[in-house]
Amino acid sequence: MTEYALAVDLGGTKVEAALVDAAGALLAGSRHRRPTGAASPSEHLAAAVTAAVRDALAALPNASTLLGAGIGSAGPIAGTSGDVSPLNLSAWRNYPLGALVGNQLPGLPVTLRMDGICISLAEVWMGAAQGESNVMGMIVSTGVGGGLILGGRVIAGSTGNAGHIGHVAVAGFDDLCACGARGCLEAIASGPRTVAWARTHGFIGETGEQLAAAAAAGDAVARAAVKRSATAVGRAIASASALVDLDIVAIGGGFSHVSDDYIELVGAAVAGHSDFGFVTTTRVVESGLSGDGPLVGAAALVHRADLIG
Ligand SMILES: [Zn+2]
């Protein structure tokens, strides 16, 4: 009998839910999404989550077992109790997302962690970091997120928020971040912030896709913007590795595809940041996950509970 986890991924623009088996495969027809949005009121967000979960659960085959739910949420989260306070969903502060989902699976366990931790779990389980023990999974997209696995175990920290690489300060930059600090990686290197920087230097496009096309065509400003983002990501990775001695960093997310050499540029910035061999030997690789990564990672909270610690 096939055993499924209900996987839920909550982000700033959408919530997705699907059924995922013990081999990390999404059940065809079980994946459903609803829009969220920064300006959405709490009731709207709750209705979106409830509908996505209901639709995913409706796909559960008769002769199968549902083990429980794994939820990856945009951070910050409030411990590992299931409460969340996503920076980009202002209506939810200490909101009981775990309990909301749990109401639809009476009697079954619900595990919630930061989305960056879920991505890292997915990289170790199914992606580019299989067999590795000291791993950071990263997303460079609308925001910049990450999570840490050290010594083969997830590092969550006292409030569940360890791994917020997007809010590590990068030397040489003072861009104002939505978190209130200056010089955060996310404020420098995210897709929207990189496009905004390019526009202040004469780029007339408005999207990451347009920036990618301009960079590919040799536009100097677009190219400089891509390098600026990759350099900041590399410096943040070097600092993280100096602190916790990483073997491998796997980078995914839409903006990491802005140029063919983005990952290479990040790696060069890591190598150029320090003479410490233990830092410069940290391998920077492209994510081994498909677009299913966040859901696979949420499912890992159920199927690979051995890694959570
Ligand atoms: Zn910040």
- What is the per-residue pLDDT across 137-177, written as a single tens digit (0 to 9) for each? 999 998 999 999 999 999 999 999 999 999 999 999 999 99
Q: How confident is the model at residue 79 (pLDDT cuts 50, 70, 90)?
A: confident
Q: What is the pLDDT of residue 18?
A: 98
What average pLDDT does this structure show over 217-235? 98
Rounded to the nearest 5 percent, the helix, strand and coil shares of the chain are 40, 25, 40
| pTM for this entry | 0.94
Q: 168 C-alpha vs ligand 1 centroid, how far in Å? A: 7
Q: 1 C-alpha vs ligand 1 centroid, how far in Å? A: 45
What average pLDDT does this structure show over 75-92? 93
What average pLDDT does this structure show over 50-79? 96
Q: 190 C-alpha vs ligand 1 centroid, how far in Å? A: 11
Q: 3 C-alpha vs ligand 1 centroid, how far in Å? A: 39
Q: What is the pLDDT of residue 106?
A: 96
Cα torsion through 239, 245, 247, 251, rounded to 10: -30
Query: Whole-number mean pLDDT of the chain?
Result: 96
Residue type at 99 in one-letter notation: A
Q: 214 C-alpha vs ligand 1 centroid, how far in Å? A: 28
Q: 236 C-alpha vs ligand 1 centroid, how far in Å? A: 13
Q: What is the pLDDT of residue 80?
A: 84
Q: pLDDT at residue 127 above 80?
A: yes
* Cα–Cα dist 156/148, whole Å: 8
Q: 166 C-alpha vs ligand 1 centroid, how far in Å? A: 7
Q: 62 C-alpha vs ligand 1 centroid, how far in Å? A: 46
Q: 80 C-alpha vs ligand 1 centroid, how far in Å? A: 22
